Amino acid sequence: MNSGTSNNRWHHRRRRAERRFRFYGQCALGLAMLMLVILVGSIVMRGASGFVQTQLRLAVMFDPTLLGLPPGSDAGDVPISNYQRLAQASLKAAFPGVVDRREGRDLSNLISLNAGAVLKRALVKEPELLGRTKNLWLPVASAADLYVKGGWPAHTPGGYNGLSDRQMEWLRALREKGAIRTAFNRAFFTQGDSRAPEHAGFLGAMLGSAFTLIVCLLVAFPLGVMTAVYLEEFARKSALAGLIEVNINNLAAVPSIVFGLLGLAVYINVMGLPRSSALVGGMTLALMILPVIIIATRAALSSVPASIRDAARALGASPIQVVWHHALPLSLPGIMTGTILGMARAIGETAPLLMIGMVAFVADTPTGFTSPATVMPVQIYLWASSPEPGFAEKTAAGIIVLLVLLLAMNALAIFLRKRFEVRW
């Protein structure tokens, strides 16, 4: 009787301990999910406004005299500064009561520095506009953009984000006329970086990341797969092979900035390759993900049953044929998954690229593998370190784009693993 009672008590204590353990695990999982939702939610709420842009409708008179355009000349040869002066004159024409020079300068500051580029593209596309008036939507400056997106705050002492009370009155007057709207910010995906927040785009960083990843894949994938095949299929068990395996495993845990120092020393100082280029960036990142691809490939090859290799040899296949026709095709899903995860790690790296000069301000979009370029994480870092308030939403918008790409690459890795996985 006493023995049965003690057993029941022991079972009750064990079940209570199991329930507590499950409860603690659920609490930890819930807390982690809550932190993730807060993090992603704050980024999305702050960065969603970066995908829209405030625009101002103006009746623009393409006066050839004000543009400084001689008869018979090409509108594309006129500097953008002349078109910017034309945009400012059109804005002043909408407020004829503004005659003071200082107020006129404050009024002109409401329009973006990119307005001149918009007018130039419009006149080059439609040359018949010369000497005529047309209503066009032009981007506003960053301070005015933030004011509109902030919900049109009422009068505030000292202004709002660099806007004076008078400038806010002008914006409200334009809103009453229906001359203010918010539209999708195409410039964010079609332009490179800029010193002006409303003019800054993410295209240069996206192309730089694409060129860098192409170089990284072309270098790391064949080298990683061939190294793994040799170590797993052909290398004899020896002290040298063991030393190589240990070093490969250790390289996978080396801080990424060390690879940046290696790329700076070898590719730039010794080989003389162009600094801040996608070629050097991709080769540097290839060094970083090479151990990841080797380890993933070896794990995929070792998962192929030995009976398949034995059957191929029994039919007269050579060692190369066994690997090429049987081991590699069956291990390809695991190889692809490891490669994609390695590339996902490379696309989010910043430290190694800082060491090779890819932190420089690059306004033009890269046109090749040796052009000056930057990548998405570095561009986000540059925007985050800028003092202008308008770059804060650009930073969050860039993070959203980067997160979407990372999620897509991880989802692709999971799909490929599930789609082509072979169960033995």
- Distant-in-sequence, close-in-space partners of 160: CB < 8 Å, separation ≥ 6: 143, 147, 150, 153, 168
- Are 178 and 244 members of one domain? no
Does 37 reside within a domain?
no
Report pLDDT digits (tens) over 102-129. Answer: 888 889 889 988 888 888 888 888 888 8
- Are 179 and 209 members of one domain? no
Q: What is the DSSP letter of 13?
A: H
pLDDT, mean of residues 402-419:
85
Total domains, the chain: 2
Does 192 reside within a domain?
no
- Are 240 and 386 members of one domain? yes
pLDDT, mean of residues 56-75:
82
Report pLDDT digits (tens) over 257-303. Answer: 889 898 989 999 899 888 888 999 999 999 999 999 999 999 988 88
Does 249 reside within a domain?
yes
- Are 103 and 164 members of one domain? yes
- Are 127 and 260 members of one domain? no
Residue with tokens 């202004």, as numbered in its chain: 159
- CATH assignment of the domain containing 408: 1.10.3720.10
- Are 298 and 382 members of one domain? yes
Does 250 reside within a domain?
yes
Does 307 reside within a domain?
yes
Q: What is the DSSP letter of 267?
A: I
- Are 225 and 147 members of one domain? no
Identify which has the larger pLDDT, 295 or 153: 295
Q: By residue range, what is the domain housing residue 349? A: 203-420
- Are 262 and 168 members of one domain? no
- Are 207 and 76 members of one domain? no
Are 248 and 295 within 8 A, CB to CB?
Answer: yes
What's the whole-number average pLDDT of the chain? 87
HSE-CB at 7 with a 13 A cutoff on CA atoms is 4
- Distant-in-sequence, close-in-space partners of 199: CB < 8 Å, separation ≥ 6: 112, 113, 114, 139, 187, 191
Does 375 reside within a domain?
yes
**Percentage of the chain with pLDDT > 90?**
25
Rounded distance between C-alpha atoms, residue 119 and residue 127, angstroms: 11
Last residue of a domain, one of 150, 183, 216: 183
Identify which has the larger pLDDT, 205 or 161: 205
Rounded distance between C-alpha atoms, residue 121 and residue 133, angstroms: 15
- Are 106 and 227 members of one domain? no
pLDDT band of residue 46 (cuts 50, 70, 90) is: confident
pLDDT at 220 over 90: yes
pLDDT, mean of residues 70-84:
79
pLDDT, mean of residues 88-114:
87
Nearest to residue 346, comparing CAs of 244, 232, 263, 231? 263
pLDDT band of residue 330 (cuts 50, 70, 90) is: confident
Does 22 reside within a domain?
no
Does 278 reside within a domain?
yes
Report pLDDT digits (tens) over 21-38. Answer: 899 999 999 999 999 999
- Are 246 and 102 members of one domain? no
Nearest to residue 383, comparing CAs of 372, 370, 368, 393? 393
pLDDT, position 423:
64
pLDDT, position 155:
64
- Are 84 and 228 members of one domain? no
SS3 assignment, position 318: coil
Last residue of a domain, one of 183, 213, 230: 183
pLDDT, mean of residues 297-313:
88
